[in-house]
Structure 1
Amino acid sequence: MKKIYFITAILFFNLYFSQHKKYSDYYNIKKNYENYPENDSRAFVFLDQYIKLAKQKKDYDRLAQGYEDAVFYSASSVDKLKYADSTVYAALLSKNNDIISDAYLGKGIIYYFNYKKYKPALDEYLKAYEYSENSTNDYLKNEILYHLGVVKCYLGYYDSALAHFQKANDYFYQKLQEKAHPNIIFNNKKGYYNSLHRIIVCYRNLKSYNAADSLITKGLAQTQNNPDFQQEYGYFLKEKGIEQLRKNDVKNALNSLQKSIKPINHINDFAWSTVNYFYIGKSYLALENSHEAIQYFQKVDSVFQEHNFILPELRENYEQLIHYYKDQKDNSKELYYTKQLLKADRIISKDFAYLSSTIHKDYDTRTLQEEKERLERTTSWGKWIIIGLIFLALLLVAIIAEKLRNEKNIKINYKILEDKILNNLYTPSHEKFDSKPNEDEKCNLNEELVGQILSKLKSFEDKCGFIENGLTINKLAHKLHTNSNYLSQIINEYKGVNFNRYLSELRIRYITNKLYNDKIYLTYKIETLAEKCGIASRTNFSNLFREINGMRPTDFIKKRQKDIKTGCQNFPVFGTV
């Protein structure tokens, strides 16, 4: 019996030390830097060793982890993005979908948090979402869901973003009811409080003020005296201050907003800092303290100058500055802030297309043009401004006219397509396909052979064989056990088109039906849609879609998303962009 115990002990220690040795090299390096704070470049003395070791051993899981750590400890945004690219590269080599998904998520976070570039961030989040679809890692899935919601919220899709945040919030709340390691509990609390904050922001923009009030009270109660969550406490205070200002409780609003500055600025979240500055400025205006108000409005401009970033809801910031300096008869500063407003409008129109089409603009193009004309009389170079503005105004009118004409055509063509789809008149094999040729157009093949080939073609269409990439008439003839000349002749005469056109129409009708009936297809990029229906080129796909359907695929997708959002369908859309 002692011998058995002895042998068992030897086997156990051999197994333990072999596993310990397997990970000890990485562990011994990582323990030297893992306690450094974020953005501390001292970590690279050891982190470079970690990455070098992973490269030598071609351990791509570890290499991805090393690059992810490099993102965390890099001090500059440029380096963070560079290492985020390297993380994606290593993750793809690992062929582990969870690691790949996490890498794309990390890159998207850099675009969002460090650069405030929402469209690139959304592209990375969608890639992360695709790789996580079959994952069992629910934390990763809900983290992706949260960040998708963040970008959608900034782009103005508040209903869709709200659905994401609520789902993520429910997940993190459920996880908090389970016993777990303190680090896991901390991460779940972070996820819970941040998603709660985002839900409040959505409710505020959707004017669901009672719902927002209730959640603000809950968030403040749970974070107020908790030193680990002062950042989140600052977010809830910010929202409380905005709500108090809406209710004209100005002094308390000012107090809440000023208290929220420190925890938000502590993490350099300049986006929410500008929101704080703006509403503090509005609070001072309500108290008729223009001097203090202007200082805070100018803080928003300072952030704009440094980061070339502004939120649509802060557009009013420049209107207030222009009004103020107009009253002060300070032409120089009025002109400067007018130019800043025009610059802000360009950014809003580019990065916030959805919001820029709906946001109320007290200073529209005509007003700005009139103000420029007035300033021209007091500045030596004003005449060039007015010439430029007239040109821009004419160009804008032409663009708007063209846009309206295109929108009208899009609505007409979309309605035609929708009627066909709803009445089952737009299936791949419908319409001119299977029409009988005239007597003088009939081929010289016997009817039995023609019937066999047409039957096989119908089966080919019903089974969606046409979505295969690189399909040629020779390949199809081989699959149908017939001669390519016979097949070409029958397609020309019985389908009314040549083989290439026949294949293109099948593919475009297939993907059009998918876009209309399956909402997940609305989240795909054009390249993915082309691939899904067997077309190799994005350009070729777009051209064929427009030629066959009378509208671009992007226009069809936007119109379909709008119909779903406005309640034309009885199901919610997930993943609209």
Structure 2
Amino acid sequence: MKNFFLIIFLLFSSYVFSEDTSPKNYEILRKKYSIFPEDDGRAFQYLNSYIKNAKAEKRDLELFQGYRDAVYYSKSLDKKLKYADSCLDAAYKSSNDNRIATAYVLKGSVYYANYRKYKPALDEYLMAYKYSKDTRDLYLKNKVSYHLGVVKNYLGYHEEALELFKNCVSYFEAESNDKTSHESQRFNNKKGYINSLHQMVICYMNLKDTKKTDSLIDIGLLKTFNDKDFLLERSYFLKSKGLSEYNNNKYTSAIDYLNESLGLIKDDFAWISLDYFYIGKSYLALKDEEKAISYFKKTDSIFTKHDFILPELRENYELLINHYKINKDHEKQLFYTTQLLKADSIISRDFAYLSLKIHREYDTNTLIEEKGRLETANTWGGFLIAALFISGGIIVFILNKKYKKEKDTLSKYLLLEDKMKNNSYVSSENTTTRTSPVAILASDSLDEKKTQIAAAIKRDLLRKLQSFEEKKQFTQKGLTIQKLAIQMDTNTNYLSNVINEQKGMNFNKYLGDLRIRYITRLMFEKSIYLNYTIDTLAKECGIASRQNFSDLFYEINGIRPTDFIRKRKKELENNNGGNFSPLERLHGLL
């Protein structure tokens, strides 16, 4: 009898412990850490168990959710990015396009919100768009549209961005008022609505539509009034109100609103720097130059710390330079001139499409000449000028070398373009790939000593290889000859011999050739691919390493992928009358 009860107890215990990682228990674990606020590391005492269990049981959905939550609760920016990568990996394993799109948005948001790196953020958002364009999940669709709109707004395409945000506001507002949805869904939709509203304010402000700007600011302030869940969002509308007051010459009021915004804003250094700058400009308008300069210096300190600057804050350095020039403080004049040069280089690098629109009172040549005049007024400035002259000589040499390389690159691109247009873009080593399997075998049958593989087996493999090429199965990540042989129900020797004899190259070269020609054709025919990073392009065609992709691309096409992208973009820009932008194609699709 004792043994009977012992067995029953063990069976019951086994059942209980087997349920520890059931979906219900994952939900229980998630409820335990969901009480913590964003960036609170205490959540990981439960979250680590959640992720560990999901890994052990290979539950891709739970693992995806766990890493997604880890991004939210991690305070370290580097870890946020790593968790975002892990979330993307789990999403791919689940083979669910919605999750993949969500993971790309998540990673893009880390680049945008935490690093203010717009170029990599845009790459991620474009991938999210690719995977979400056929989705029925309207929340996800609008979320992707919102983030693309943010980048468009930032690059200066305010009218295009405005259309996206109008749609987002319409959707998120309706969903936030849906009483049948879950409370958390309504919260997320309200957050989407308020943030989209703020972006519309930025659009109208840049488009100089004062009436609509002020109207939306008032709505935003009303929607966030006395709501502790939306303090950060309220700071954005207070910031916007301060800018509006400044534009209406109400400088004291502007300072009050901007200071109130600073009191609520958290770690958003981009908007903090804007607050500082316009507080400084307001004090300058009120003839309090000392206070104004102190705020301009605060704006500079953010730039120094984060290597980030909004294009409109370039004026911050013009004001500082003029101030110290008038006061004959050559050392500080030189320092802020150097800062302005650095700011210009970052603006040119990160805002290639926007920088041409920015009015430059101090262009690069003027700034370098100014450095020369400052040389006599500052001892250590002389060393800097000498370094600039040496750098200038090096630049002339590099430019000359670059010019010759550019001519060679152009001729190779034109040759490649001609092949594309004339449908002659095929493997240079593979002259037999266009021949049918039966015709090839007819020539083989004349001398059976030349082959060690039975004709029937070879014919079957050739048909499978033809299907493999037509279905683009060569884009599989981590594909080896062993894996392909298993997929084709053969062995590696048979497969290797057929590829060597009939394709004129070994397996690795054959695979690389297919992948590079496939991605090159996509880049030529679909301009959206020109906006992808080299890493993304490599993944798209199944190549794991960026360097391997670049080397293979050069070996097969005679031109580096970056050069090909640059030339193709320029060609499309010329064809479109100079109006081509990295988001031009998306404009018609969004």
Using the size of structure 2 for normalisation, the TM-score is 0.70
2:514, 2:50 → 1: CA distance? 52
Report the counterpart of residue 586 of structure 2 in structure 1.
Answer: 573
Q: 2:525 aligns with which of 492, 500, 517?
A: 517
Contact 1:122 1:148 in 2 (8 A): yes
Instruction: Give the distance between the partners of 1:110 and 1:466, measured in 2 at CA.
Output: 32
Match of 1:378 in 2: 377
SS of residue paired to 2:309: coil
Deviates more, 1:213-222 or 1:296-305: 213-222
1:111 aligns with 2:121: no
Q: Is the 8 A contact 1:519 1:574 kept in 2?
A: no
Report whether the alignment pairs 1:217 with 2:215.
yes
Given the alignment of the two structures, is residue 394 of structure 1 paired with residue 402 of structure 2, yes or no?
no
CA 142–404 in structure 1, closer or farther in 2 if over 3 Å, else same: farther
CA distance in 1, matches of 2:513, 2:375: 57
By how many angstroms is 1:316 displaced? 1.9
Provide closer, same or farther for how the CA distance between residues 547 and 24 of structure 1 changes in structure 2, counting only shifts above 3 A: closer
Give me the whole-angstrom Cα distance separating, in 2, the residues matched to 1:463 and 1:29: 46
Within 2, Cα distance between the matches of 1:25 and 1:544?
Answer: 48
What amino acid is aligned across from residue 551 of structure 2 in structure 1?
N
**Residues 402-431 of structure 1 deviation map (CA, whole Å, 9 limit, x = unaligned):** 55665666566555555654x444454899
CA contact (8 A) 1:376 1:382 kept: yes
Report the equivalent of 2:7: none
Spell out the pairing of 1:81-100 with structure 2 (5 A cutoff). Answer: 81-82=78-79, 85-86=82-83, 88-89=85-86, 92=89, 95-96=93-94, 97=96
2:469 and 2:128 map into 1 onto residues whose CA distance is: 33
Distance 2:515 2:87 in 1: 35
Alignment-derived partner of residue 334 in structure 1: 333
Whole-Å Cα distance in 2 between the matches of residues 220 and 49 of structure 1? 41
Question: Relative to structure 1, is the Cα distance of residues 379 and 486 closer, same or farther in structure 2, using a 3 angstrom cutoff?
Answer: closer
CA distance in structure 1 between the partners assigned to 2:128 and 2:172 by the alignment: 19
Contact 2:235 2:264 in 1 (8 A): no
Query: Could you state the TM-score of these two structures normalised by the residue count of structure 1?
Result: 0.71
Report the 3-state secondary structure (helix = DSSP H, G, I; strand = E; otherwise coil) of the residue aligned with 1:187. Answer: helix
Q: Are residues 1:51 and 2:48 paired? A: yes
Write out aligned runs for 1:159-558 (5 A): 165=165, 167-176=167-176, 178-179=178-179, 180-202=181-203, 208-210=207-209, 213-224=211-222, 226-228=225-227, 229=230, 231-236=232-237, 238-239=239-240, 242=243, 249-251=248-250, 255-256=253-254, 258-263=256-261, 265-268=263-266, 269-286=268-285, 288-356=287-355, 359-401=358-400, 414=413, 417-418=416-417, 421=420, 423-426=421-424, 428=426, 463=470, 467=474, 508-530=516-538, 532-533=540-541, 538-558=546-566
Q: CA deviation at 1:387?
A: 0.8
Superimposed CA distance per residue, residues 210-251 of structure 1 (whole angstroms, 9 cap, x where no aligned partner) = 4x7525523423533633356445434544654676xx6322
Q: Which amino acid aligns with 2:537?
A: L
Deviation of the 1:491 alpha carbon: 6.7
> Displacement, 1:531?
5.3
Which stretch has the larger CA shift, 195-204 or 94-103? 94-103
Unaligned stretches of 5+ in structure 2? Answer: 1-17, 435-439, 448-457
Bigger drift between 225-234 and 359-368 goes to: 225-234
CA distance, structure 1, for counterparts of residue 87 and residue 499 of structure 2: 47
Native 8 Å contact 1:466 1:506 kept in 2: no
Amino acid at match of 1:463: E
Whole-Å separation in 2 of the counterparts to 1:395 and 1:357:
26
- 8 A contact 1:26–1:50 mirrored in 2: no
* Greater CA drift, 371-380 or 55-64: 55-64
Inter-CA distance 259–118: structure 2 relative to 1 (3 Å threshold) = same
Cα displacement (A) at 1:320: 1.1
Aligned with 1:374: secondary structure? helix
Is 1:147 aligned with 2:143? no
* Cα distance between partner residues in 1 of 2:317 and 2:256: 21
Contact 2:50 2:66 in 1 (8 A): no
Secondary structure of the 1:209 match is coil
Structure 1: gaps spanning 5 or more residues? 1-17, 437-442
